Amino acid sequence: MPYIRAVTPNRTTLQRARIAVSILFFTNALTLSAWLPRLAELQSDLGMSDIEVGAALAAGAAGGVAAGISAGPLINRWGSNRIAVITLFALLPVLPFIGLAPGAWMLGFVLLIVGGLDAVMDAAMNSHAMRVQHDMKGIGVNRSILNTFHGFWSLGTVAGGLIGVATAAIGLSIAWTMTIVAVLCGVLVLSARAWLLPGVDPDSFLESTDDPTDGAQPDPGSLAAAGPVSATERQAASRVLAQPIIWGLGAFIILAVMIEDIPGRWSSIYLTDIGTPAAYVGWGFVAFTAAMTAGRFLGDRIVDSLGERRWTRIAMAASAVVLGSSLIAQSTWLFLVGCAVTGFGVATLFPAAMRAAAHLPGVRPATGVATLSWLSRAGFVTAPLAVGAIAEGLGVGWGIGVAVVAAIALVPLSAILKWEKTR
């Protein structure tokens, strides 16, 4: 289906839209990360076991799985700009209840709501980012800017981590911390929402060609949010799961998600268990997210130089060695180094898998990317449950060791990244 091109916004409009989308990514991360450095405190306050912590975190991921199905129809009906803003403002009043929950079950319910709203906002802000990326081509900007948006998301996690550490140091409650975060995010998005691109999103970003079978590969970044637009495309979406390679990529991205999820989220509990002073237990999360932010801003250059497969092998081997050694040594400072090395190494894996999915033979890029994105949600559900169950019996250090095993498994599995960017 050809793309019916609207009037391309001018440079100023697109530059403002780029700023506004960056703010959406930043605030989304801020809402999700400001309380994570204080997870050990939350566990102590509610008297939760490690497995209960894992179940509560998994509830948030389950909410995302359930609500993510509605994101596409909502965006198609109301536009990614409106849905991103609406879901953020629906999320903000829920945040203080993370600190007000009286027990594990209520915390899980609150995180279920947070996870569901986040999944819809995530789809909407990514869709709008891709719309900005596509329209940038109309003013002659052909380089990718999508990784930069995700870099701002990582910056938001760093800011959230620092807020969590700082408020813990001054004794501010989690509920008040999240209230301040909610107000801050609301002000930022209210200030920027007028700069988002107006109107609903196009059905597709596919460009018309004289020969639709010329074999040219569309830009995967511009197609990732488009989704099936015809009966033929819907049939293709149902057939893509029959291809063995999508399951290989699914395993790759699930392992990558587990590495992204485990060290940062569980670091405060682990550091508390090994006797780290309370003032320092939040720094594992900060080290991980700060390093991942750097990895995302530098990732394009690294991948262009070394290639995705080679860099994945180097990064995951280094992550397994350093993080594993830190868990054996039970050293606070070595663990912080392990978090930093792992955060930097895992930064490029998610986009690498998405690019590979966008180049599956005989599969429309949008279909491959959407399918892989759905499979990745399994990692967010599996990781906290696995760590919680292992930690309950053997200790949190053994639970975090799941990330080490995942990194080792990704060294040979990196061969699934068969597509390399032409340089």
Instruction: Report pLDDT for 417.
Output: 81
Same structural domain, 256 and 370: yes
Instruction: Report pLDDT for 182.
Output: 96
Same structural domain, 187 and 306: no
Same structural domain, 258 and 373: yes
Residue 273, SS3 per DSSP: helix
Same structural domain, 241 and 106: no
Neighbouring C-beta atoms of residue 46, cutoff 10 Å:
17
Q: Is residue 222 part of a domain?
A: no
393's CB contacts (< 8 A; 6+ apart) are: none
Q: Could you give the CA distance from residue 106 to residue 377 in angstroms, rounded to a whole number?
A: 22
Q: Is residue 101 part of a domain?
A: yes
Q: Is residue 363 part of a domain?
A: yes
* Cβ–Cβ < 8 Å for 225, 372: no
Neighbouring C-beta atoms of residue 230, cutoff 10 Å:
11
Instruction: Report pLDDT for 112.
Output: 94
Handedness of CA 161, 166, 168, 173 (dihedral sign): negative
Same structural domain, 44 and 141: yes
* Cβ–Cβ < 8 Å for 352, 308: yes
* Cβ–Cβ < 8 Å for 133, 146: yes
Structure-block tokens of residue 270? 């682990």
Instruction: Report pLDDT for 403.
Output: 93
Instruction: Report pLDDT for 57.
Output: 86
Q: Is residue 204 part of a domain?
A: no
Q: Could you give the CA distance from residue 379 to residue 375 in angstroms, rounded to a whole number?
A: 8
| DSSP, residue by residue, 271-299 | HHHTT--GGGTTHHHHHHHHHHHHHHHHH
Instruction: Report pLDDT for 98.
Output: 94
Q: Could you give the CA distance from residue 61 to residue 318 in angstroms, rounded to a whole number?
A: 28
Q: How far is CA 401 from CA 170, 273, 327, 410, in A?
A: 32, 15, 8, 14
The distance of Cα 17 from the centroid of its chain, to the nearest Å, equals 21
Same structural domain, 277 and 398: yes
* Cβ–Cβ < 8 Å for 222, 130: yes
Same structural domain, 182 and 248: no
Nearest to 35 by CA among 178, 172, 137: 178
The length of the chain is: 423
Which one-letter amino acid corresponds to residue 51? I
Q: Could you give the CA distance from residue 142 to residue 151 in angstroms, rounded to a whole number?
A: 19
Q: What CATH code is carried by the domain that includes residue 129?
A: 1.20.1250.20
Q: Is residue 294 part of a domain?
A: yes
* Secondary element (H or E) of residue 168: helix 146-169
Q: Could you give the CA distance from residue 204 to residue 232 in angstroms, rounded to a whole number?
A: 14
Instruction: Report pLDDT for 342.
Output: 95
Domain C-terminal end among 196, 226, 256: 196
Handedness of CA 420, 257, 366, 146 (dihedral sign): negative
Domain count, the chain: 2
Same structural domain, 136 and 42: yes
Same structural domain, 258 and 189: no
Same structural domain, 172 and 269: no
Q: Is residue 61 part of a domain?
A: yes
Domain C-terminal end among 196, 219, 243: 196
Domain C-terminal end among 178, 196, 214: 196
Which one-letter amino acid corresponds to residue 330? Q
Structure-block tokens of residue 96? 């203080």
Q: How far is CA 408 from CA 61, 106, 353, 379, 383, in A?
A: 24, 36, 17, 16, 16
- pLDDT tens track, the chain, 423 positions: 334 444 567 888 888 999 999 999 999 999 988 998 888 889 889 998 888 888 888 888 888 878 877 776 787 788 889 999 999 999 999 999 999 999 889 999 999 999 889 988 887 887 788 788 778 776 666 666 666 787 898 889 889 988 998 998 899 999 999 999 999 999 999 999 999 988 776 654 444 333 333 333 333 333 333 344 444 444 544 566 666 777 888 889 889 989 988 888 888 888 888 888 887 888 888 899 889 888 888 877 787 788 888 999 999 999 999 999 999 998 899 999 999 999 999 988 887 777 777 667 766 554 566 567 667 777 878 888 888 889 888 888 999 999 999 999 999 998 888 654 433
Same structural domain, 412 and 310: yes
Domain of residue 395, residue span: 235-418
Same structural domain, 259 and 145: no
Q: Is residue 203 part of a domain?
A: no
Q: Is residue 221 part of a domain?
A: no
